[in-house]
Structure 1
């Protein structure tokens, strides 16, 4: 039995335009024509269309579908296996992204339900950018250090966050004062502030050896979203993020020297 293009489109759930496109591309040409010149599709055409739609659902491009349908069966199986592997990889990637989103949301919530007023009271102008949290999880999610930091952050109570943020505010005031006074980034005062920040991270989140602290500080200087976690935009000034980065690097070098000297004794 033969079917018109409109009937086939209705059967298959595709548009007439799609069938015309398949015909023009040589992928599915109707087996017959009516006396008036209209396309007519037979059972074999419908079977081929079903295969086309199957491969389209799997994400195959049209030119590859044509190669699969018109090529050797062995080649079709190889292409299917390759697509199966690609789909499994994509599923794994999407599962990872879902986990990343869940962790980022946990960080956004700081692990503790708070009203808007409580959040404002505790965090003030410090912002937790969800896009940055997600990217950080993608970048460092494999790290045990990052995992511990996220776990501890989600476990903090409201009182923990109040104490943490008060401590951070005091440190931030000292940093702004040192920067405003023109203290050199590799001077004792700036390096001591860097060391205080490293101790703060270790106390509230995760151990922070010098090499990790360097990476954290590099991120502060490179990404405003990261720096906004320690200094809100209203308190920032040009060069401050780079100043903190340089102080952290100087302090890390000082710590490394002290460790080497200790080992040599």
Structure 2
């Protein structure tokens, strides 16, 4: 039966990672030697293979423990949740990609000393954002983090009245059907988390 160091080498992990897995109850040694060294058997190796596979899929350790120790019917739900998270991350990254593309297609925007509403809207339009994209993003941003949403709008130099109108419109359904269409989404990608910007700090 391999020791903790041998098992770590076999799976390309650090010894400290396996010690941590032991500490949180994710992977216990199958037995102990006479000198109290951890020993791992076939069952532990199979479990570690599954742990590594789930980690490659980006599943958090707490969720992995539920996958391994919970009922089989819970597996699909956890993995579907991870897939939804990845979809959101992909949409956010695509939104950032489109913004960068807008900068590159409009070099004049790169020299702007400060970001205001007109510059931001011009950039988003150049990046291919539609009104529906903007509606959807603002509604999601307002639902996820109202204070940060307000700070971003204030950073763009909007008046208190316009900020109030945009936030009121954004507080409705996420379908983009609210009146008073907001026109300054931070990333347009449908994500609840805006890209890094001075307003988001």
Provide closer, same or farther for how the CA distance between residues 138 and 25 of structure 1 changes in structure 2, counting only shifts above 3 A.
farther
Partner of 2:47: 48
Aligned length: 136
User: Helix, strand or coil: the match of 2:25?
Assistant: coil
Task: State the Cα distance separating 1:129 from its structure 2 match.
Answer: 4.8
Q: Is the 8 A contact 2:3 2:39 kept in 1?
A: yes
Contact conserved, 2:21 with 2:28, CA < 8 A, in 1?
A: yes
Q: Deviations over 1:217-264 (max 9, x none)?
A: xxxx954xx78xxxxxxxxxxxxx99xxxxxxxxxxxxxxxxxxxxxx
Q: State the secondary structure of the residue aligned to 1:30.
A: coil
RCO (CA 8 Å, sep 6+): is it higher in 1 or 2?
A: 2
For structure 1, which runs of at least 5 residues remain unmatched after alignment?
112-125, 147-220, 228-240, 243-265
Query: Which ranges in structure 2 are unaligned for 5 or more consecutive residues?
Result: 135-152, 160-201
1:142 aligns with 2:130: yes
Aligned residue number for residue 59 of structure 2:
60
CA contact (8 A) 1:3 1:42 kept: yes
Q: Give the match for residue 35 of structure 2.
A: 36
Structure possessing the higher radius of gyration over alpha carbons? 1
CA contact (8 A) 2:54 2:64 kept: yes
TM-score normalized with structure 1 length? 0.43
**Residue 135 of structure 1: how far off its partner (Å):** 5.9
Contact 1:6/1:16 (8 A) holds in 2: yes
As a proportion of its length, which structure holds more helix?
A: 1
